[in-house]
Each structure stands twice: as C-alpha cells, then as structure tokens.
Amino acid sequence: MKHALILMFGLVLAFSPLQAQKLTIYYMPPTEELDIIKEYNLTLLKLALEKTKATHGEFEIISDFDSNLDQRDALKSLKDKSELYVVPTMTDGIRERVFTPVRVPLYKGLFGIRLLMINKNKADALSMVNSEAQLKDKILVQGSDWPDTQILKKNGFKVKELDQKEKMIGALIDGSADAYPRSIAEIWEEIDLHKDQPLTAQSKVYVYYPTAIYFFLQKTPEGKKAADRIENGLLLAVKDGSFDKAFQKYMGSVILKAKLDSKTLIKLKNPILPENTPLDNKDLWFIN
C-alpha cells in the first residue's frame, strides 16, 4: 500500500502543470506599430500567461521587435516558423481561416473607432463634413492590405490604397487624399510623431465599425493549445478586473482626448467581420 501511494504521488508530480515543459512564445509586433501599442499588447500577453501559470505551467516570452515586418508579412511568416509566434493584428475571415485567433478583442473594439487625420490647411473645408454622405464625397487613404480598407470600400467610400504609413501621411500633405481614418488608440501619437507636418484631427465626426485586434498564432496543434491558454488567461483577467486596469492605463487618456460625446457618430457595417466574433459578451467591448 505504501509503495502504491508513493507511485501515485510520483505520477501526480510527473503530470502536474508546474512540472510541464515551459511554454516559450515569441511576440512579433508588426514593425509599423507604435511603441504604446507594442507595450500594451505585450502587457496583455504576459497577463494572460500569468493568469494560467498555476494550471498550465511556466512560460517565457521572447520579444522579436527587430523583425522589420509589416502586418501582412508578419502574419505570412508564421507559416515558416517552427517556434510558437504571436502576432497581434485586426481580424477578418481570411486571417481566421489561415491562422489561429485568440478571440478576445485586445482593445475592446477601439480600433473600430476612427477619427479623421487631416491636413490643417484643409481644416476649414473638412470641418463642414458632418455626415456619412458628406464624407463619401472625400478621398480617404488606408493601407492596401488592411481589413479597414475593405470595410470602407464595402460601405461605399472612396479609398486611396497605399502600402506604407509614411506614404499615407504624404497623401494628406500633397492633397491627393482628404482624410486618413485612424483609431483613437493611434491618432494622437502619430500626429505627435509628425510635428513638422500640418496635421490635425477633424473635430466634428468619428467613424465606428465593430472590429477586433486579436493575437494570432500558427494553425497547428501547438498553436491551438497556446491560443486556448492565452484566451483562458485573458478571460480570467476580464473577470477579475486586471484586463480593464491595463486597458485604462494605456487607453484611458486617448479615450478622454477623443471627446466622442461632442462628435457625430458615423456608424458603418463590417461585412468582413467573422461570425465567431464575441459581440454578445459586453464585457469585452468599449462600444457594443
């Protein structure tokens, strides 16, 4: 009996989560992301893995900040990686079919709340824009491979597509585009990074469509297992309030600065939003 108990104890230790192989994940943010975005994403990834350490074991995050890959290429590179990689980016149906999404919106939908970055020299004319119909008369600029571009085009807007953020800023400066819709999580820092350029945010309207930034991993058994752990950890953080604490720390000031209550809402449909998006869970969204 004594030997049997010792054997059982040994088996418990052998299969204990704390004895499991340490999970190593590489965090690869797209190169064009702002520093605050990279830091917030990394904070949430650490939080999710900490919340599940007791049940899933130790972990290590290696940040690959020097990948120099944009959104599209960062995602594509996942297919060639033997290690587990995490890339945070906006969801759409194709991305969810090709990769494994962690369906917890990291920004509670803030990337669907868009202010219009404009040229200060056009501010007077663009200040008259106060409706969807008026905005559809203008030329918007967006990334050629961004889901936002398809959302805007499918809603009937005229979109100039470019492949680099600096080119998009340039389109505002040279007048070939009238407005550059940016999320409230990005616009202020991007304007600040271009202090030498005549840029500002249009004050009358904001655009909203439901969308989510997710963590994406490889579509492999290992990727699915890690994605499940991250999702469980994020949901635990939502439940105990630590997710919202991080959200307010990083995003609270930009929400206040946006002054959404003083602006007219232009609400759009998102026809490329995957059916599995957790819109019914109001705890996961800033606007629902």
Residue type, 260: L
Using DSSP, state whether 115 is helix, strand or coil.
strand
Domains 22-108+211-255+271-283 and 111-208 share a fold: yes
Burial of 18 (0-12, 13-18, 19+ CB in 10 A): exposed
Residue type, 117: M
Q: Are 66 and 29 in contact (CB under 8 A)?
A: no
Question: Two tokens at 68?
Answer: 């120099």
Closest by CA position to 116, among listed 69, 160, 62, 182: 182
The architecture in CATH of the region 22-108+211-255+271-283 reads 3-Layer(aba) Sandwich (3.40)
pLDDT tens track for 184-210: 999 999 999 999 999 999 999 999 999
Closest by CA position to 59, among listed 236, 225, 213: 225
Q: Answer whether 0.85 is exceeded by the pTM.
A: yes
Ordered by start, the domain boundaries in the chain are 22-108+211-255+271-283, 111-208
Question: Two tokens at 229?
Answer: 């752990």
Local structure of residue 83 (DSSP, 8 states): S
pLDDT tens track for 28-55: 998 888 889 999 999 999 999 999 999 9
CATH homologous superfamily for 111-208? Answer: Periplasmic binding protein-like II (3.40.190.10)
Strands 113-119 and 180-183: antiparallel
Local structure of residue 266 (DSSP, 8 states): E
pLDDT tens track for 66-79: 777 788 888 888 88
Residue type, 193: L
Nearest 5 degrees, angle CA 166-CA 110-CA 163? 25
